[in-house]
Amino acid sequence: MQLTIDQNRKEYFRLLLLHVAIAFAIYLYRPISVLVCHGMLLFWLIYILQKKNKNNEALMAAAYVAGSEVYFRMTAGMIFYETGKYMVVVYILIGMFFKGTSSKTVPYWFFILMMVPGILVSAINISYGAEFRKLVAFNLSGPVCLGVVAIYCYYKKIKKADFEKVILMLLLPLISNMLYLYLYTPSLKESLINVSANYLATGGYGPNQISTIFGMGFFLISTRLFLVKDKLINLVDFVLLGLMAYRAIVTFSRGGVITGVICICTFVLFFYYKQNAKTRSSIFRKILFIAVAGLAVWSFTLVKTSGLIGNRYTNKDASGKLKEDITTGRSELIETELHAFTNNPILGIGIGKGKEYREEQLGIIIATHNEISRMLSEQGILGLISLLILIFVPVVFWFKFENNYYFLAFLAFWFLTINHSAMRIALPAFVYGLALLYIVDDKKDPVHRKRLAR
């Protein structure tokens, strides 16, 4: 089965040009980002209410917000820092109102409820001068977003054409963000002074988050080369793939790039496995073509960075000397959080308390970079149970149906991202939910299926 793009060629290029125009507009007059951001949020709200979520418009809206969250953060378009996660939750809740949820979502309701004891523990243990509300919101907005999206998506039927729209809505703002950065920093010569994460190449915003979203970007574009049967669209997507991959690499943040490559590999392996012998030969040629293109982008980046990017990925400094810690300090943070878990295994130290705990143990004030160790340290045994739910529930679902080509890639993206970037953005939470969808191919003859949520 091959997926085909829902929009015709004309509509796809129209949407693409619109997002090119948005990139130019924000670059030329940055304050317009506020208008674009909140205009977009209002548009999707009205759109969902008008359509009454008949074709999962809520999921499309949430996809667009998840894809544009970092874009509008870096251009100061969002009034509140966590607007992206909050609006994903709002859109999905509205979608639930119109379409309901499956009765099988009980594990994810438990996942959300198991956060409550950690909040209570935090209220008791946190220091007097700490901003309790902000700490809790910062650490739980991501997990709550994941829980809500998972409840909506789990066992949810979605037409293949509607799923394609969701993927496109996720991709378009990533492309616009990439083009904005090409305009903002057309030359990287001045920024290449060492092998640390490159803030100048990411518009002054966090390279880790830019690398993460661009990793998702070049992964989604790669999948379109296999799923979209239109040579002109494939050619445009191939150019976008090269541009996106290059921009991801020059952030000098490795996590998002490596995650994106792993996602491509998992997607291709399953997609290839599902095809017949005749189709496999053409797929194999595309795989080789993408691999050669990837090697060309890497070689080009090596030249443009005078070899510094090679040092970054081989854990060397600018002079070529091997560094001792490949995790750039993250291992020490994880160690302190595991120490907190072993000392407080039942209920943990409380939501948001980890920052204070690290200050006490290490003498530094820094937020966590690993969601797994954070859940263990701040929620104790309930955090461990929550992790087991997040891992095993989708795996059981997968072995039952195996109809979503993106499942393994999306689950890998979620797991790898929360290990190097926690859940600072909505994207890993959202794509986790997408892995739980049951995709229906309306073009195939109807077959008997177990009853699923509509």
Tens digit of each residue's pLDDT (9 = 90 or more) over 366-400? 777 788 988 999 999 999 999 999 999 999 999 88
**Spatial distance between the Cα atoms of 391 and 407, rounded to a whole number of angstroms:** 12
Q: Report whether pLDDT(28) > 90.
A: yes
CA nearest to 38, candidates 80, 92, 96? 80
More confident call, 171 vs 344: 171
Structure confidence at residue 191 (pLDDT): 59
Q: Report whether pLDDT(187) > 80.
A: no
**Spatial distance between the Cα atoms of 167 and 437, rounded to a whole number of angstroms:** 13
Q: Report whether pLDDT(190) > 60.
A: no
**Tokens 């991709």 belong to residue:** 171
pTM: 0.91
More confident call, 127 vs 405: 405
Q: Report whether pLDDT(295) > 50.
A: yes
Q: What percent of the chain lies above the pLDDT cut of 90?
A: 57
Q: How confident is the model at residue 26 (pLDDT cuts 50, 70, 90)?
A: very high
**Tokens 């317009």 belong to residue:** 32
DSSP bridge pairs for 158: 439
Mean pLDDT for the chain overall = 87
CA nearest to 209, candidates 181, 239, 236, 242? 181
Structure confidence at residue 4 (pLDDT): 44
Tens digit of each residue's pLDDT (9 = 90 or more) over 139-156? 899 999 999 999 999 999
Structure confidence at residue 356 (pLDDT): 79
Tens digit of each residue's pLDDT (9 = 90 or more) over 324-367? 666 566 777 788 888 889 998 998 998 888 777 777 777 777 77
Widest pairwise Cα distance in the chain? 68
Structure confidence at residue 1 (pLDDT): 38
Q: Report whether pLDDT(446) > 50.
A: no
Structure confidence at residue 125 (pLDDT): 79
Structure confidence at residue 196 (pLDDT): 61
Element (H, E) at 440: strand 438-440
| Other beta carbons less than 10 A from residue 320's beta carbon | 12
First vs last Cα of the chain: how many Å apart? 23
**Spatial distance between the Cα atoms of 101 and 58, rounded to a whole number of angstroms:** 13
Report the b/e string of 416-439 with b at 16+ CB within 10 A. Answer: bbbbbbbbbbbbbbbbbbbbbbbb
Tens digit of each residue's pLDDT (9 = 90 or more) over 243-279? 999 999 998 889 999 999 999 999 999 998 888 888 8
**Spatial distance between the Cα atoms of 380 and 122, rounded to a whole number of angstroms:** 12
Radius of gyration of the chain, Cα coordinates, nearest whole angstrom? 22
**Tokens 């991959």 belong to residue:** 245
Tens digit of each residue's pLDDT (9 = 90 or more) over 210-252? 999 999 999 999 999 999 888 899 999 999 999 999 999 998 8
**Spatial distance between the Cα atoms of 321 and 306, rounded to a whole number of angstroms:** 16
